[in-house]
Every structure is written in structure tokens, then in C-alpha cells.
Amino acid sequence: MFDKEKLSHIKEVRQKWEDGVLAKTLNKAPESKEEFKSVSGALVNRLYTPEDVENIDYESEIGYPGQYPFTRGYQPTMYRGRPWTMRMYAGFATAEESNERYKYLVSQGSTGLSVAFDLPTQIGYDSDHSLAQGEVGKVGVAIDSLRDMEILFDGIPLDKVSTSMTINAPAAVLLAMYIAVAEKQGVSPDKLRGTIQNDILKEYIARGTYIFPTEPSMRLITNIFEYCSKHVPKWNTISISGYHIREAGSTAAQEVGFTLADGIAYVEAAIKAGLDVDTFAPRLSFFFNSHNDLFEEVAKFRAARRLWAKIMKNRFKAKDEKSMMLKFHTQTAGCTLTAQQPDNNIIRVAMQALAAVLGGTQSLHTNSRDEALALPTTDSVTIALRTQQIIANETGVANTVDPLAGSYFIEAKTKEIEVKAMEYITKIDELGGAARAIDLGYIQKEISDSAYQYQMEIESLERIVVGVNKYQVEEDAPKGLLRVDPIVAEMQKEKINEVKAKRNNLAVEEKLDLLKKACEGTENVMPFILDAVKEYASLGEICGVMREVFGEYEQAVLI
Amino acid sequence: MKRPIRVLIAKPGLDGHDRGAKVIARALRDAGMEVIYTGLRQTPEQIVAAAVQEDVDVVGLSLLSGAHNYLFPKVADLLKEQGVDDVLIIGGGVIPNEDIQGLKEAGISEIFTPGTPTAKMIEYIKNNLKRI
């Protein structure tokens, strides 16, 4: 970014400074540590200067927002146009209770919905399945059939809100239910806006709600890409997620590297299935974590945008600039929340949310202070939402685009994370791609190594966690936590029995049979799932048919 | 000690969060114990079968989904049914304080909540083995 002459002068002066002012200070008062490291364990220098960015070309590497390589943002005006979407992930117990929470969030200024499903739903079991016992309604809402989905979105106009659904293995089924509910509201699929997570690779890596083996799972994903490009064109068909990779313990560079490697695998699968890259790539979206290290996180978001743009342009020869834009949702880092002195979590979340905004996120979920203990109460969720509103309305950080650009530190770190992430991608390419690298356990091992190191640093006090290994106090057990009544499971069971008694069971059987044949063949399964859903076939029945044809994924167990 | 302490680290239920389970498995192994990790989605029956087959001294249950009040006691009961009464059962995860007493009464000797140093757990295991 500087001419040679200027740079050599800067070097000279820096040398003088080091030998003079700096040396004198270090002699008198040495620094508190020999090395300073980021949350990810990356070395952080005392000072960054023009020398650290001498090889970064402004126009080709940093550039302008809304154009290649999108380092400064995917959109030219960013939050000056409109603020990010404040999208709070919520859902628990029954569809009725969750519906109430959504209406409350919207009334408080939440601008998008984000549905959390319980584990049986995420793994394709109805609430009355034996493996669902104890789990119904616990980490999200239980959805067994279209009936539950109708209740969940009752009174919420689906042409007005955008809805994100954290659903992966059975994503096609929940999307079909959403389309069916919209139709009943008189909203056609082409008006629907939202996202399904639909990212199975990171389920194998880090999150664990897989059902089917890799190959049929990738087929389901590409079926959704194809179906939506024709019928639900405003829908984000996948949210390629680094969030859970980071939660599992990865570093920032690993989060970018592994997530983009997963992204590459999806693009390759879709191209292999005969889709043109520019028909589906504009609908790919991403989901990242915002952790504690403010500058590292900002650099991470910028690096991810630049690297993805380069990959789409150079590797996949995308022509549409929309295919090169990395749009992303962010959630603050759940793993940084402490059970000790839980109110401190409000501060952590605020800083992490700030990093996400400075990094140019498109939407944001802020965690609640009590989430290391239980699902959040309404009061806690409100504080978390207010945190975003304070950042947007009071701090002024949203007034200019990419405010930290040009900082020697931020630009040097952005480059560093991009380079490290690319090294991981190259390694994964050598292993045969993301799916293969997961089968080999490579990605999981890298992550758990980082997680273990992080934990050991906390235990050796090399890393301080306020309230956990320093500044501890004796405290009373927190009161007023949210609890899901076990009666929820009984209510769900009754509801699904009622649905099964009332529906046209012959039609259900017929649609399930057709779905089975489609699964066995090579057709797009989406229309068949939609037909079955409309007859109130249950999630468990539909996934059961697919389990029969596709089999189940076997996890590689490593420690 | 005749042989190293043998530990089964298990993930009951449908919960996929295994960062804690893996970190603990490794910390126990580094502390000289023999550790078997079950992987995800184990039924209480599978966990008990593995505990018996592997002849472990300790079963460590990790769960973050909120289903602990159902699944932890089930493991303890099944072990009892099998006539196994000398295995130390411990648990960890996102578990509210008010649930801990009930879990202890159900046969889980100790619950370790987020923020517990692995060293504390290692010490606990060494001091509380039921087989000597």
C-alpha cells in the first residue's frame, strides 16, 4: 500500500524507535509476557506498521464494498441502507409456546425469526419414538407434522417475515412444511424469504444431528438447491456453518478453512449433479461464530468474504458476482458463556456482537446471559436483543462501512487468517475433499486438539476466564431458570395421535410409497416430500422411509 | 494400583455436543487412566452394556440437551439391575443446580458443571472409586 521509498524510510524510523525509545522502556519495565496470543493462539505483535501490509494491494485485495473481492462488505452501503437483521434463535416446548415467543420477539423489534427445533425433530423422530424420550421440547420446539408447523406460524404472515430454520438432515421435510403452511396462508412459494441450515457436513464434524450417510445426504441438499432455484427463488438453501465448528473448539482460521471447505464440497456436488454454478451459488449463505477476541474476529469475517470470493471466481469460474458474495449470519459464542456470575455474560455478548457488526454481518443472534445454565428466560432474551439495538442505535459503529479497514493490525490479520484457512483447504483437497477428510477424522481431530489446548491453557491460568479461574466469588444457585415441563412430551404424543386419527391414511400411505420410489431412483425428492407433508404424513414417517432406502450414517469415534 | 483406572465416557440421548466429553476423555487419559469413549447417541442400554463389557471402574455421562433427569437415572438403574454396584457414576453438562440433588439420589455420585477444571475431576475419581 506504500511506495518503496516511503517504506524504506518507515523501516529506518522503526529501527531507530526500536533501538531508542522502545529499548529504553523494555530495559526499565519488561512486558508482562514473552508472547501475546489471540484467543486462537495466533501470535500478536507489539505493534503493526505499514511494513505489515506492504504486500497487500488495496484495489485487488481490499477494494470497495459490494464488489469483488468483497473484503469490505457484500453490499455497498451496508448498515447505512438498513441495519443487520436482528434474528434471535428461539424455540422450546410446544409449537403453541414457541409461537408466543416469536410474537413477543417481533413486538420487541426482532426483525427475523429463527426456529430452534428439539433434537428428535432434528434427527427425524416423532415425539412418540422411544429414542425421543426425555428430549421432547427440550432444546427447541417439537414438530411432528404439518399440524405443529401451522400452530408455530399462526398469526405470523409468512410473506412479511424472513425465517431461518436450524434444521439439517430433515431440512427438506421442514422446508416442505413451511411451504405448505404458506400456501394455506395464501402466500406463494416465490414470496418466501428465509434460510434452512441444511449443512450436513458440519453435523458429521461437530454438531451431531446427522441421519443419513454422506452420499444420499448430499443428494438431498442438491435436490433442495435445484427445487428452490425454480420454485422458492428468494430462499437461502443452505447456511454453511462454521459456528458449531468453532463451538467445538476450533481456532478462527480453522473455522474459516473448514467451513469454506464444506462450501466447496456442496458446490462441487451441485455442479456434479448438473447444475450451473450461477443458478444456485447466489443462494448459498454462511453462518459464523463471534468469539471473544474482537480484532481477530473482525479479521476473520473479512478474510472469509475475500477467500470465498476468490474460490468462487477462480476455482468454480462463477460469472455472476452474486455467486462470489459471502453473506453470513452470526451468533455470539455460546462456549464463552460461564455458569459462574452469569450476568458477566451480558458484557461478553456485547463485545462479541460488536465484533460481528464491525465484521459486516448480515444478521445476528445474541446469546442470553443464562445459557450456560438452561434455555434463556424472556427477560434474558430481551437484554440480549437490546444489546443489538444499543449497538445499532447508540454507538455509531454502523455509520460507516467496514470501519476497521486500513488498520495495519486488522489488514495484516485478515491476510494471515486467509492464508492459514487456505492451507487447511489445500490439505483437505489433498485428502480428497471435505467429506473424505471427515470420514478420516482429520477435521474432527484438528478441532479437538485445539479444544484440548484451550482447556489446558485455562487450567494453567495462561488464559484467564473471569469468574471461572480468576475473580471467583461464592454465589447462590441462580433462580428462575426456564424449565420445560415434561408434560410437553405427553401433549405432543396426544397431538400426533390425533393427527393420525383424522388424516386420510390411505393417501398418506400412497404418498409415502411414491416418496420411497423417488428415493430409490434419481428424481428430485422435494415434490414427493411436499405431497406427503400436505397429507399430514409425520416427520418420523417421512424420515423413516428415507432411512429405509438410504441407511444411516456411522460416526467415526476418535478422541 | 494393580491396573490403571478404566473409564467409560458416554454421550446418552440425542445430544451432539461432544467437546466436553472429548476434552475430559483426553484429560483422563493424560492422567494415566484407560478411557473408552462411546461416541454420540447412546441409549442407556448401550452404555450399560459397554460398561459391563469393558469392565470399567467409572462411567462418565455428558449431556447438554436437558434430558439428564430422564437419562442419567436410567443408566444408574440399569447398572443396578445388572447387579453392578461398584462402578462410580459421574455426570456433567448444562445441568441446573436444583437438579443435582435428585441426580445424586438416583445414584449419580457427582455432577460437574461448566467451568470445572479437569484436574478437579481427576482428583474426585481417584478419591471416590468404589472398587479398591
CA A272 to chain centre: 25
Residue with cell 529501527: A15
Contact flag B94-A247 (C-beta cutoff 8 Å):
no
* Cβ-Cβ contacts under 8 Å, B122 against chain A: none
Portion 63-122 of A in contact with B at CB < 8 A: 119-120, 122
Query: How many angstroms away from the CA of A452 is the closest CA of chain B?
Result: 5
Residue A512 β-bridge partners: none
C-alpha dist (Å) from residue A400 to A302, A356, A360, A392 = 16, 15, 11, 12
Contact by Cβ (8 Å): A390, A353 = no
Query: How many angstroms away from the CA of B19 is the closest CA of chain A?
Result: 5
Contact flag A248-B19 (C-beta cutoff 8 Å):
yes
pLDDT in tens, A142-171: 999 999 999 999 999 999 999 999 999 999
Q: How many CA atoms lie within 13 A of A404 on its CB side?
A: 25
C-alpha dist (Å) from residue B49 to A30, A404, B41, B81, B91 = 58, 56, 14, 12, 18
Residue A340 has pLDDT above 90, yes or no: yes
* Cβ-Cβ contacts under 8 Å, A483 against chain B: 96
Q: Which CATH class is domain B6-127?
A: alpha beta
Residue A257 has pLDDT above 80, yes or no: yes
pLDDT in tens, B89-127: 999 999 988 999 999 999 999 999 998 999 999 999 999
Query: Which letter does DSSP use for residue A323 in this model?
Result: G
Q: Which of A101-105, A187-191, A277-281, B37-41 has the lowest mean pLDDT?
A: A101-105
The reply to whether A435 touches chain B by the CB within 8 Å rule is: no
- Coil, strand or helix at A28: helix
**Which chain A residue has the Cα nearest residue B17?**
A207
pLDDT in tens, A379-431: 999 999 999 999 999 999 999 999 999 999 999 999 999 999 999 999 999 99
**B1 falls in which pLDDT band (50, 70, 90)?**
low
Contact flag B115-A135 (C-beta cutoff 8 Å):
no
**B33 falls in which pLDDT band (50, 70, 90)?**
very high
pLDDT in tens, A13-63: 999 999 999 999 999 999 999 999 999 999 999 999 999 999 999 999 999
Q: Using CB atoms, pick whichever of B16, B67, B94 lies closest to residue A134.
A: B67
What number is the average pLDDT over the span A202-226? Answer: 97
- Return the pLDDT at A457: 96
Q: How far, in Å, CA of B22 to CA of A450, rounded?
A: 11
* Cβ-Cβ contacts under 8 Å, A555 against chain B: 39-40
What number is the average pLDDT over the span B12-37? Answer: 96
Share of chain B above pLDDT 70, in %: 98
Q: How far, in Å, CA of A229 to CA of A232, rounded?
A: 6
Tell which residue, A247, A275, A263, has the closest CA to residue A328: A263
Q: What is the average pLDDT score of chain A?
A: 96
Contact flag A208-B113 (C-beta cutoff 8 Å):
no
Contact flag B19-A134 (C-beta cutoff 8 Å):
no
Q: Which of A143-147, A439-443, A480-484 has the lowest mean pLDDT?
A: A480-484
Contact flag A249-B19 (C-beta cutoff 8 Å):
yes
Residue with cell 425433530: A121
Contact by Cβ (8 Å): A545, A525 = no
Which segments within B12-98 are labelled E, that is strand? 34-37, 58-63, 88-93
Query: How many angstroms away from the CA of B129 is the closest CA of chain A?
Result: 23
- Return the pLDDT at A386: 97
* Cβ-Cβ contacts under 8 Å, B69 against chain A: 134
- State the amino acid at position A552 in one-letter form: E
Q: From the candidates A200, A452, A543, which should be mutated to test the interface with B, based on the most B CB atoms within 10 A?
A: A452
Residue A558 has pLDDT above 80, yes or no: no
* Cβ-Cβ contacts under 8 Å, A484 against chain B: 66
The three cell numbers of residue A224 are 433442495
Q: For chain B, list residues whose CB is within 8 angstroms of any CB belonging to chain A.
A: 13-19, 22-23, 25-27, 29, 35, 37-41, 43, 65-67, 69-71, 94, 96-98, 113-115, 117-119
What number is the average pLDDT over the span A457-472? Answer: 96
Tell which residue, A425, A103, A36, has the closest CA to residue A263: A425
Residue A328 has pLDDT above 80, yes or no: yes
Degrees (nearest 5) of the Cα angle A486, A127, B59?
A: 70
User: Alpha-carbon dihedral of residues A504, A509, A511, A512, nearest 10 degrees?
Assistant: 140
What number is the average pLDDT over the span B67-84? Answer: 96
Which segments within A33-161 are labelled E, that is strand? 85-90, 112-115
**A188 falls in which pLDDT band (50, 70, 90)?**
very high
Q: Using CB atoms, pick whichever of B25, B40, B114 lies closest to residue A555.
A: B40
Q: Using CB atoms, pick whichever of A125, A203, A459 lies closest to residue B118.
A: A459
Contact flag A335-B119 (C-beta cutoff 8 Å):
no
Q: Which domains does chain A have, with CATH numbers?
A: 1-11+33-78+197-473 (3.20.20.240)
Share of chain A above pLDDT 70, in %: 100
Tell which residue, A40, A456, A440, has the closest CA to residue B26: A456
Contact by Cβ (8 Å): A98, A92 = yes
What number is the average pLDDT over the span A169-192? Answer: 98
Does the pTM surpass 0.90? The reply is yes
- Return the pLDDT at A1: 67
Write down the domain spans for chain B.
6-127
Tell which residue, B50, B49, B39, B52, has the closest CA to residue B13: B39
